[in-house]
Amino acid sequence: MSKVIHIDPEAPSAEAINLAAHVLRDGGIVVFPTETVYGIGAAASSCIGPQEIIDIKMRSASKPLPWLVETESALDVYGVEVPDYAHNLAKRFWPGPLSLVVKASEKVGKDFRDARGTVALRCPDHEVVQELIRASGGPIITTSANTSGNPPAASFEELEPRIIHAADLTLDGGETHHGVASTVVDCTGPTPEVLREGAISTGDIEAAAKGLDA
């Protein structure tokens, strides 16, 4: 049975973060709160790759897992040929509920890319996740912690027992801030394309991409 520990989402204890980071570094799977919904993730550097999380979520393998990163600079570390408007979006909305799809650099393994060779990156606005990224030593591959087709969990109480049982560790951080998934924007073309409208509206995306106040 997975271990569940309570964590303060605003001021997470060093003990809880270190435990979760240790699980991630050892190739384990952790369920954790973000500012959007609960996520299930593993260290991008771990040896398990994305398949175990895909199996738990019962998600199509054709949908690569997004990466949670620490800062805007990650766009040019894990992405290549990143357009200026993608940086505009990151400057405006990161950290926050925005996932940017970019052409993947060689630092992103083939198992983590889609058929076009892209990866989705997001810098979360959540203290728990930011500290997990730093403590585990790099990006976290993640997806919402729910069975594919079911509603995402906006609180610990909404997590499916099956998901908790499948993870090595679950962090109970109560309710999330937004309760809806991130907005996903394709940044591989000459202009941004909103693939999924979530916590940030399409209008705000279009304005920020042009360098305008949203």
Q: CB under 8 Å to 106, separation ≥6 — which residues?
A: none
Domain ranges of the chain: 1-70+124-180, 79-122+182-214
Please tell me the pTM assigned to this model.
0.92
Q: What is the pLDDT of residue 90?
A: 97
- The arithmetic mean of pLDDT across residues 186-208, rounded, is 95
Angstrom distances, CA of residue 193 to CA of 85, 89, 101, 157, 205? 11, 12, 10, 34, 9
Given CATH 3.90.870.10, say whether it is the number of domain 1-70+124-180.
Answer: yes
Q: What is the pLDDT of residue 144?
A: 94
| Token pair listed for 30 | 């952790």
Q: What is the pLDDT of residue 47?
A: 65
Share of the chain above pLDDT 90, in %: 84
**On the CB side of 83, how many CA atoms lie within 13 Å of its CA?**
18
d(CA 182, CA 167): 22
